[in-house]
Amino acid sequence: MRTLANLWPFMWPADRTDLKWRVVWATVFLVLAKLVLVLVPYFFKWATDALTGELAAPDYIPAILAAPVMLVLAYNGVRIVQVGLNQLRDALFARVGQHAVRQLGYRTFVHLHQLSLRFHLERRTGGLSRVIERGVKGIETIVRFTILNTLPTILEFALMAVIFWVVYGWVYVAIIAATVWLYTWFTVWASDWRIAIRRDMNDSDTDANTKAVDSLLNYETVKYFGNEKMEAARYDRSMARYEDAATRTWTSLGWLNFGQGVIFGVGMAAVMALSAWEVTRGTHTIGDFVFVNAMLMQLSVPLNFIGFIYREIRQALTDIEQMFDLLDVRAEVVDRPDAAPLVVGDGTVTFEDVHFAYDPARPILKGVSFEVPAGKTVAIVGPSGAGKSTISRLLFRFYDIQSGAIRIDGQDIRDVTQECLRHAIGMVPQDTVLFNDTIRYNIRYGRPDAAAEDVERAADLAQIGDFIVRLPDGYDTMVGERGLKLSGGEKQRVAIARTILKAPPILMLDEATSALDTRTEQEIQAALDLVSRGRTTLVIAHRLSTVISADEIIVLQDGRIAERGKHSALLAKRGLYAEMWARQREATEAEERLRKVREEDALGIVERRSPAGMEPVDE
C-alpha cells in the first residue's frame, strides 16, 4: 500500500493537466466498454431464441431487427465496438503510464547521483543496474494494471451481479459469489507462496549479472591470470541457482493455474447445471442457457485477470521494492537549507584543524591545518595511507568532516551549495576513467556548451591535439569502455584538456602522473604546469620529482603534518621527506638503467664481460 501511495502522484501528476484529462477520458471509455460488454451475451441470447422460435419481440421493434441474421450481426457489431472502446482507453492511457515510468526512472537516476561516495564505493554496478531495470518495468506493470484492469474488473463484477440477481435470482449470485471468493482466496494464497520463490530467482539473477559485469569490466585481469575457466565456473554456479529458482517459479505457476481452473470449473458446472434444470422445467429458454454460459465465459476473463493482476502487481512490487529502498537511502552530504552560492575571489583554500574518519574507530586526518594562497601551488606528499587522497575528497565535499573547517576565500564549504563548490574546482585524477563516447565528448565534458574551437584549443594546450587530428576519425574517435582504447598518457591528456576547458579558479591534481612512466610523466607534467599557471593549485603527489617547484610541500604521516617547507629546505632537514626523496631517486636511477639496457638489447648489443670484468663484446 505504501508503494501504491508513492506511485499515485505519478499516475495523477499535479503539474500535467493534459495527463489528468487523459486519465478521465480513459475512465469514461472504460465504463462505456463494460456497459457494452454486458450487452454482448444479450444479443447472443436473443439470436438463439430467434433461431429456436422462442423470441418474443415487443410490437414496437420491427420484425427485420428481430430476425436471427440481424441479431447475429448486432452481436458481432457490439463485440467490435467493445474492443474499439478498450483500445481507445489503452491508447489514451499509454502516455500516462510511460510518463510515470520516465519520471520515476529519472528520479531514481538523480537520487543515485546525490548519494555519497561511500555508497558508490560499496555498490555492485551490475546488481544495481539490474535492480533499476526490473524496477522500471515493475512500475509500468503497476501503473497499467492498477488503472486499466483493477477498476474494470470490479465494475464488471458489479454489473453482472446486478443482472443475475434481477433476472435469475439470488441463488445464481450466491454460487458465482462463492466461486469468485474461493478463486480470489486461492489466488492470493498461492501468489504469496510464489513471492518467496520469485525473490530467490531475482537474487540469483542479480548475482549472475553482477558476476558477469564485474568479470567483463576486469577483462584484462582475467586474461593476465588465465582465469577464464574460473570466471565461467563462478557465473555458471550463479546461473545454476537461477535455473533452480526459475524452474520452481514455473512449476508453482502451473499448480496455481490448475487450482484456479478447478475452482472456476466447479462453479461454472454448478451454475450451468442449475440453468439446464430450469430449461427442462420450462422456466428458462435455450437462450437463457446460452446467456448464462456466455456471461460465465465473460466472467472468466476478469477472474483470470484477478489472478494475473494480483500476481503481476505482487511480482512488480517485489521487483521495485529494492528500487524504492534506493530512493529511501538518505544522502550523506546535503546542502543546508540556507546554503549560498560560492563566491570565488582570489581562490585561497584553507584547512583549519580538520579531523576526519571514514570509520570512527580509524581516524584518517588528525588536526590538519594549512593554507593554499591564491595563485600558489601547495603539494601534499607522504607514505601510502597517510591521508593524501582523502584531502581531495574532502575539498570536493564527497564527505563532511567531523570537526574543523575547510574554507575557500573564507567561506566554509559546508555553507555553500555543492554545485557551485564543484564548479569552482578542477580535477585531474590519478586514474582517469573516460566515458565510452568520442574524444570530443570527453573533452567537452568539462564545459558541455563549449564551441568546437574551444575544445580543440584545450586539446592543443594539453599537448594532445596533434595526436587527435592524426586519428582516422579525429575528434569523433570512440575511446572505448572506460577509455581503454587510449594509453595512460593519452587518457591523462584528455583529462587535462577537459579541465582546461572547465577553466576553474582552483585546481586539484591527485597523483596525476603516478601511474605513468618517467618519459610520459615529464610530458604530462609540462602540460600540468601550463594548466596550473596563475591558479590556486593543490597537488597530491606520489612522485616527489613532480613537486620540486611547489611553493610549499606538506609531508603527511599518520594523518598529521610531519614536515612542511620548500623542497631544498626539506632536504636540508634530513627527515621523512629526505628519506622519501632518496628512495625515489634510487628507484628512478634503477628504472633508467633498466631502460638503457632494454634499448641496447633492442639494438642487438649484448654486454659480455671478460674474467677481468671489463670488455664488452659486439655480438
Digit-coded pLDDT (tens) for 472-496? 888 898 888 777 788 877 888 888 8
Q: State yes or no: pLDDT of 392 exceeds 80.
A: yes
pLDDT mean over 366-374: 91
Task: Find out whether 149 and 309 touch, Cβ atoms under 8 Å.
Answer: yes
Of 401 and 117, the structure prediction assigns the larger pLDDT to 401
Structural element, H or E, at residue 406? strand 403-408
Q: Which residue has the cell 521487483?
A: 319
- Rounded to 5 degrees, φ, ψ at 57 are -80, 140
- Name all domains of the chain by residue range, CATH numbers in brackets: 8-328 (1.20.1560.10), 349-424+504-589 (3.40.50.300), 434-489 (no CATH)
Output the pLDDT for position 613: 43
Task: Find out whether 536 and 378 touch, Cβ atoms under 8 Å.
Answer: no
Number of neighbours of residue 269 by Cβ within 10 angstroms = 10
Model pLDDT for residues 228-286, shown as the tens digit of each residue: 888 888 888 888 888 888 888 788 888 888 888 888 888 888 888 888 888 888 777 78
Query: Cα–Cα distance between 187 and 230 in angstroms, integer?
Result: 43
Of 579 and 31, the structure prediction assigns the larger pLDDT to 579
Of 4 and 467, the structure prediction assigns the larger pLDDT to 467
Cβ-based neighbours of 131, under 8 Å, separated by 6 or more:
206, 322, 323, 326
Q: State yes or no: pLDDT of 615 exceeds 50.
A: no
Output the pLDDT for position 56: 61
Query: Cα–Cα distance between 317 and 10 in angstroms, integer?
Result: 16
pLDDT bin (cut points 50, 70, 90) of residue 147 is low
| Pairs from 174-181 (Cβ < 8 Å, separation ≥ 24) | 175/267, 175/270, 175/271, 175/274, 176/267, 176/271, 176/296, 176/299, 178/267, 179/263, 179/264, 179/266, 179/267, 179/268, 179/270, 180/303, 180/306
Q: Which residue has the cell 450481426?
A: 73
End-to-end CA distance of the chain: give it in Å, rounded.
84
In angstroms, the Cα distances linking 1 to 5, 191, 314 are 6, 17, 11
Query: Cα–Cα distance between 61 and 59 in angstroms, integer?
Result: 5
Q: For residue 330, with 0-12 CB atoms within 10 Å meaning exposed, 13-18 middle and 19 or more buried, which class applies?
A: exposed
Output the pLDDT for position 98: 82
Q: State yes or no: pLDDT of 119 exceeds 70.
A: yes
pLDDT mean over 575-595: 81
Task: Find out whether 138 and 320 touch, Cβ atoms under 8 Å.
Answer: yes
Q: Per-residue b/e over 518-535, b at no fewer than 16 CB within 10 Å?
A: eebbeebbebbeebbeeb
Output the pLDDT for position 123: 65
178-184-188-189 Cα dihedral, nearest 10 degrees: 30
Share of the chain above pLDDT 90, in %: 8
Q: State yes or no: pLDDT of 619 exceeds 60.
A: no
Of 141 and 349, the structure prediction assigns the larger pLDDT to 349
Q: State yes or no: pLDDT of 390 exceeds 80.
A: yes
In angstroms, the Cα distances linking 344 to 118, 164, 428, 449 are 28, 78, 20, 22
Task: For the chain, give the mean pLDDT.
Answer: 80
Lowest mean pLDDT among 57-66, 179-188, 363-372: 57-66
pLDDT mean over 12-31: 83
Output the pLDDT for position 35: 81
Task: Find out whether 333 and 400 touch, Cβ atoms under 8 Å.
Answer: yes
Cβ-based neighbours of 503, under 8 Å, separated by 6 or more:
426, 447
Structural element, H or E, at residue 560? strand 560-565
Share of the chain above pLDDT 70, in %: 88
Output the pLDDT for position 60: 46
Output the pLDDT for position 228: 85
Output the pLDDT for position 491: 86
- Rounded to 5 degrees, φ, ψ at 455 are -65, -45
Beta strands in 261-348 (DSSP E): none
Q: Which three cell numbers stand for residue 326?
A: 534506493
Q: Which three cell numbers stand for residue 556?
A: 603527511
pLDDT bin (cut points 50, 70, 90) of residue 612 is very low
Q: What is the DSSP letter of 430?
A: S
Output the pLDDT for position 603: 61
